């Protein structure tokens, strides 16, 4: 049965942590803030930057400035300190061959998401790549999925795939079941607590889980 499968980007399709963390460090240094360990800064991968910068001490009225500093490095360099996870390309090829519709639903700005996926020659597998707007009018996973549904309609067999609780919660808000992947940047326990239908540990397991649903 044909499915419409929504994929998160960072931490699900590609391991983008190095570039994101490097650029976040630059922004925190800009404000003279203490730099946490890279392990602590893994939480920058996935959620909207406005929210995460505030957790690390950037005042709410300075988050736009922090994001400008972040993007000054991310756009030319950080976006490509990144690599697809093992087995992802083969997974997408098989899912397309099986006749499923594939989408990206990410909190990363849409234009940058398209650029990254084109860089890795992954964009061609997706029927639509939906992301956040640069002005934060559409930034949460729930809002991105709402936009995708508005633009493309709701299928009877929609599934979300992501690596954080934000993916699970965003999909659940629209009545869409979600599979959590363990190889990304979110806590498995958080995804389970948020209602993930299952957790998978490899691209092969993900393919099997999608076929079973």
Closest CA to 136 of 73, 66, 57: 66
Concerning whether 8 is annotated as a catalytic residue, the answer is yes
- In total, the chain counts a number of residues equal to 213
8, 10, 15, 163: the catalytic one is 8
What is the distance between the alpha carbons of residues 99 and 78, in angstroms, rounded to a whole number? 34
Q: What are phi and psi of 152, to 5 degrees?
A: -120, -5
Cβ atoms of 74 and 114 closer than 8 Å: no
Look up residue 178 and give its two tokens: 């979600």
Q: What are phi and psi of 200, to 5 degrees?
A: -120, 155
Active-site residue set? 8
């Amino acid at each position: 049965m044909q499915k419409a499968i929504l994929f998160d980007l960072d931490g699900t399709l590609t391991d983008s942590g190095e570039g994101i963390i490097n650029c976040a460090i630059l922004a925190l240094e800009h404000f003279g803030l203490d730099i946490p360990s890279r392990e602590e800064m893994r939480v920058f991968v996935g959620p909207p930057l406005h929210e995460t910068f505030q957790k690390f001490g950037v005042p709410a009225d300075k988050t736009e400035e922090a994001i400008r500093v972040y993007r000054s490095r991310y756009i030319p360099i950080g976006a490509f300190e990144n690599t697809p996870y093992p087995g992802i390309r083969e997974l997408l090829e098989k899912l397309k061959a099986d006749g499923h519709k594939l989408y990206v639903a990410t909190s990363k700005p849409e234009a940058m998401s398209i650029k990254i996926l084109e860089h890795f020659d992954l964009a061609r597998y997706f029927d639509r790549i939906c992301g956040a707007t640069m002005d934060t009018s559409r930034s949460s996973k729930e809002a991105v999925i709402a936009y995708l549904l508005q633009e493309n309609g709701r299928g009877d067999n929609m599934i979300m795939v992501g690596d954080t609780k934000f993916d699970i919660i965003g999909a659940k808000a629209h009545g869409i079941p979600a599979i959590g992947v363990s190889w990304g940047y979110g806590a498995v326990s958080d995804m389970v607590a948020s209602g993930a239908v299952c957790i998978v540990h490899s691209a092969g397991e993900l393919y099997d889980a999608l076929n079973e649903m």
